[in-house]
Amino acid sequence: MRIYLIGYMGSGKSHLGWKLANYLGVQFVDMDNYIEERNCKTIPQIFAQEGEAEFRSKERNALEELSEFTDIVIATGGGAPCFFDNVDLMNSTGKTIYLNIDPTILADRLLTSKTERPLIKGKSRDELVAFIDETLKKRNEFYSQAQYQITEPDFDLDALQKMIS
């Protein structure tokens, strides 16, 4: 079993991933944490020191490594499905679930998050909602390729297991 959670930052991939992995009795990996540990740098440091293109390359390498793991739930980075053929790799090696959460909910979550997120730094709530809307329009062609989709912020784990079984 290999499950990939995809969706915009703040959609709850890490939170749901951890809960789902515990529920299923499998390992959980947050891909951003995995990248940080492998590179001994935070994601913001990688962006600042090496640029987005190098980060996306590191992200692809991490995805290739994680696609070899078994009995795992993987919370991907928000942009991971949108580069290279990452969404195809995920679909061919596991089950993909898109957490399609309303942009206003995402903005509220991101504004109260303790995590530093380079792509949204310094934006007001209105600017953030507009930025999320615009980014989702571009990313939806990739996100929509997921095999399953959740639109409720607090999805029931029993229902999720039945959906993907």
Q: Would you say residue 165 lies in a domain? A: no
Interstrand relation of 95-99 and 72-75 (parallel, antiparallel or unpaired): unpaired
* pLDDT (average), residues 2-28: 96
Q: Which of 125, 38, 120 is nearest to 78 (CA)?
A: 120
Q: Would you say residue 39 lies in a domain? A: yes
Q: How many domains does the chain have?
A: 1
Range of the structural domain that residue 101 is part of: 2-157
Q: Would you say residue 162 lies in a domain? A: no
Q: Which tens digits make up the pLDDT trace of 27-79? A: 999 999 999 999 999 998 999 999 999 999 999 999 999 999 999 999 999 99
Q: Would you say residue 116 lies in a domain? A: yes
Secondary-structure breakdown of the chain: helix, strand, coil percentages, each rounded to the nearest 5: 60, 15, 30
Q: What pLDDT does 141 receive? A: 96
Q: For residue 113, what pLDDT band results from cuts at 50, 70 and 90?
A: confident
Query: Does pLDDT of 117 surpass 80?
Result: no
Query: Does pLDDT of 147 surpass 80?
Result: yes
CATH number for the domain harbouring residue 148: 3.40.50.300
Q: Which of 28, 12, 14, 18 is nearest to 150 (CA)?
A: 12
Query: Does pLDDT of 155 surpass 90?
Result: no
Q: Would you say residue 164 lies in a domain? A: no
CB 85 within 8 A of CB 91: no
% of the chain at pLDDT higher than 90: 84
